[in-house]
Structure 1
Amino acid sequence: MRTSHMKLFFFIFLFHSFLFLVLSSSSRNFPVIPFDEGYSPLFGDHNLIIHSDSKTVHLSLDESSGSGFATHDIYLHGYFSASIKLPSDYTAGVVVAFYLSNGDMYEKNHDEIDFEFLGHIRGKDWRVQTNVYGNGSTHIGREERYGLWFDPSEDFHQYSILWTDTKIIFYVDDVPIREIKKTASMGGDFPSKPMTLYSTIWDASTWATNGGKYKVNYKYAPYIAEFSDFVLHGCAVDPIEHVTNCDSVQTSETVPSDVTQVERNKMDNFRLKHMTYSYCYDKTRYKVPLPECVIDSREAERLIKSDPVTFGNGRHRRGKRHHHQAKEAASF
């Protein structure tokens, strides 16, 4: 009897160990799909090149157009990932975006989860921005911006979004860089409706690089972004009935639901070293932080030192920040 109990205990231990590994797994453990199995061209077809093996796609921007692609299906929650190599050299004003949105279905109350790469000028780093909108809350920006510890134009790097009913986690090369937990105070601002996954490249000269100071210079065109290692690991939704094709048990066993302590340490370290902007500390924009903000004294001190006007109590004229209308106009 004792032996059988020990066997049972050992089996349970192994199962939970296996489940822990699955839940904390990276995109390498999820199936990579060919482009044409999950995606279709969206706009700028002449600037979209699909390699013959359907594993890599080039999106380019020139004076005639940007370009983009989108998933065949819409999804309610999941893990979405791609390896991206950004355009090199002078790329001011050029935005490469990897994001979830339902703006085509919900024009006035859409949701969105964004990775946006904001271009760069020589001698400066590329910046990446994350943002979320829920229920059309585009008047409330929840942006964060970061530098990167590598040059994203030299090689492919993996960018991933985990979206569940309680949290959103952004990853760069399997390092979580931001976690957004759903709180009661956020209300409908947390994305909750089915969304399509998009990838686009477009001209955002009016705001992207130093608030629009540096614009796209088409003598360096075409600007080419490369995509590969496509992962679509989510619950596809019937567009009419809005019924998912997978149950919650299957999803919970295959999609990571949290960050491990090791990953959390990496995230804290990344944010300490590389975060350059967070809406939670922007005192020129929000006199009182939004209710879901948890103020970290280390972050506050560092950001105030880097930009005392924005993050202190100084006066500052901010540029217009309604670029998503431009992105959606280009995308849909």
Structure 2
Amino acid sequence: MDYLVQYSSLTRSLPPLSLLVLLSVTTTITATATIPAETTTTATFNVTALTFAESYSTLFSEFNIQRSPDDKTVRLLLNRFSGSGIISSDYFNYGFFSASIKMPSEHTAGIVVAFYTSNVDTFERNHDELDIEFLGNTNGKPWRFQTNMYGNGSVSRGREERYRMWFDPSKDSHRYSILWNPKHIIFYVDNVPIREVIHNPFMRGDYPSKPMSIYATIWDASSWATNGGREKVNYQFEPFVTEFTDLVLEGCIVDPNEQILSTNCTDSIEALIAKDYSSISSQGYKSMKWFREKYMYYSYCYDNVRYPVPPPECVIVPSEREMFKTTGRLREKFRYTGSHRHHRGRSSRRRSNRSVASG
């Protein structure tokens, strides 16, 4: 995310060297998703929802950030003056990061809402990053979203996938989560795992391994986000508001400047790996297969133009391989023909050499 560099000077001071804790797990938050009964995963995650003051601070444009009276919900606004963003108050050495998010509704062309992890403010030249980015669309067409991964500054080797949703994310809040541990990375929508990246030793530094902060932002991406930048943000309909609640940050809190991470994190990481959200059940894999075959419309693993040899973490699934052309885009017979609004949405994006996907 190029905008990270622009705002990195606004981030908070680093946590004390001695602060090393694993956030406790005390409550259950359950999000539901309307998917076929045969693919429904029944897992619920036992997690603690934090207040804004316990978890985040302002990244930029405090005047466009609204906190609820109980401090459990934060609204991020985009208007003609600025977008807005928040950043976790701590860095984490692996963890589970989650929020229930409601998207802006209507006239969302050119808007990007992002929930992601990064350490670019500390490791500018070799940063790690895990992204969930939500892309607005022309009025009447559905939101789309993408996941991405960068490791050790590998911005030229982004691992991007793009999807559509089986629901309207502007009608209700839905939970979006990132699980990151030494073994694998899992992206969740509600309780449905939509993508897993297994740590392959041949990835070397491309697997994110340095402490990261968690960010949430809304911003103007008129130059690329909708129809290749042909559709811009229409500020006649400002402000555009996205709402974050059920804020979850679980992991070992560290000082990223420590040359050797404290061994106090060893037990915390083992505890993290043992959590229910750190593994996918057989039913969860069925749900993931259902989602990917029905709603994924670009995958770098099948983009032989960018990667004649698929990156080492790619697991080529025959049923997915059949869906895509050599560009990683859908073949005509697999073209997406509907969504929660039963519209056909097509867009393209070209953002330097980090993305070549189009829908």
TM range (shorter): 0.7 to 0.9
* Pairs within 5 Å for 1:307-322: 307-308=330-331, 320-322=350-352
User: Which residue does the alignment assign to 2:262?
Assistant: 243
For structure 2, list consecutive stretches of 5 or more residues without a partner in the other structure.
1-41, 335-347, 355-359
What is the identity, as a one-letter code, of the residue corresponding to 1:243? S
Correspondence for 1:230: 247
Residue of structure 1 aligned with 2:158, choices 122, 137, 141: 141
- Deviations along 1:219-246, one digit per CA (max 9) or x if unpaired, are 1211100000011111111344343754
Is 2:192 aligned against 1:172? no
1:289 Cα deviation from its structure 2 partner: 2.3
Where has structure 1 moved over 6 Å in runs of 4 or more?
Answer: none
Q: What does residue 280 of structure 1 align with?
A: 301
**Following the alignment from structure 1 to structure 2, what is the Cα–Cα distance between the partners of residues 308 and 47?**
42
- How far did residue 308 of structure 1 move? 4.5
Cα distance between partner residues in 1 of 2:97 and 2:282: 22
Output the CA distance in 1 between the equivalents of 2:273 and 2:349. Answer: 42
| Residue-by-residue CA offset, 1:10-43 (whole Å, 9 max, x unaligned) | xxxxxxxxxxxxxx9533x111111111110110
Name the counterpart of 1:8.
none
In 2, Cα distance between the equivalents of 1:211 and 1:108?
A: 28
Counterpart secondary structure, 2:165: coil
Counterpart of 2:155 in 1: which secondary structure?
coil
What displacement does 1:286 show? 2.6
**Quick one: structure 1 residues 224 and 182, their matched pair in 2 at CA, closer, same or farther if it must change by over 3 Å?**
same
What secondary structure is seen at the aligned counterpart in 2 of 1:302? Answer: coil
Q: Does residue 1:98 correspond to 2:115, yes or no?
A: yes
Work out the CA distance in 1 between the residues paired with 2:125 and 2:169.
34
How far apart, in 1, do the equivalents of 2:71 and 2:109 lie? 30
Q: Are 1:110 and 1:136, in contact at CA under 8 Å, matched by a contact in 2?
A: yes
Residues 1:160 and 2:181 aligned together? no
1:193 is aligned to 210
- 1:120 and 1:110, CA in 2 relative to 1: closer, same or farther beyond 3 A? same
Query: What is the CA-CA distance between 1:265 and the residue it aligns to?
Result: 0.6
Work out whether residues 297 and 330 of structure 2, in 8 Å CA contact, stay in contact via their aligned partners in 1.
no
Change (3 A) 1:292 1:229: same
Deviation at 1:266, TM superposition (A): 0.4
TM score, norm. by length of structure 2: 0.77
* Structure 1, unpaired ranges of 5+: 1-23, 312-317, 325-332
- Between Structure 1 and Structure 2, whose CA radius of gyration is higher? 1
Per-residue CA deviations over 1:74-104 (Å, capped at 9, x if unaligned) read: 0011111000000000111100000000000
How many equivalent pairs are there?
A: 293
Kindly state the Cα deviation for residue 272 of structure 1 after the two structures are TM-superposed: 0.8
C-alpha distance in structure 2 between counterparts of 1:255 and 1:235, whole Å: 17
- Given that residues 79 and 255 in structure 1 are in contact (C-alpha distance below 8 angstroms), is that contact kept between their aligned partners in structure 2? no
CA distance in 2, matches of 1:40, 1:150: 30
- Answer whether contact 2:156 2:353 (CA < 8 A) is retained: no
Distance 1:76 1:306 in 2: 34
Indicate how the Cα distance of structure 1 residues 221 and 282 shifts in structure 2: closer, same or farther if over 3 A, else same: same
Identity within the alignment, %: 53
Report the Cα distance in structure 1 between the residues aligned to 2:80 and 2:96, rounded to whole angstroms. Answer: 34
Does 2:101 align with 1:84? yes
Q: 2:245 is paired with a residue of what secondary structure?
A: strand
Distance 1:26 1:226, change over 3 A: same
Distance in 1 (alpha carbons) for counterparts of 2:56 and 2:106: 29
Where does 1:58-77 land on structure 2 (aligned, <5 Å)? 58-77=75-94
Are 2:111 and 2:220, in contact at CA under 8 Å, matched by a contact in 1? yes
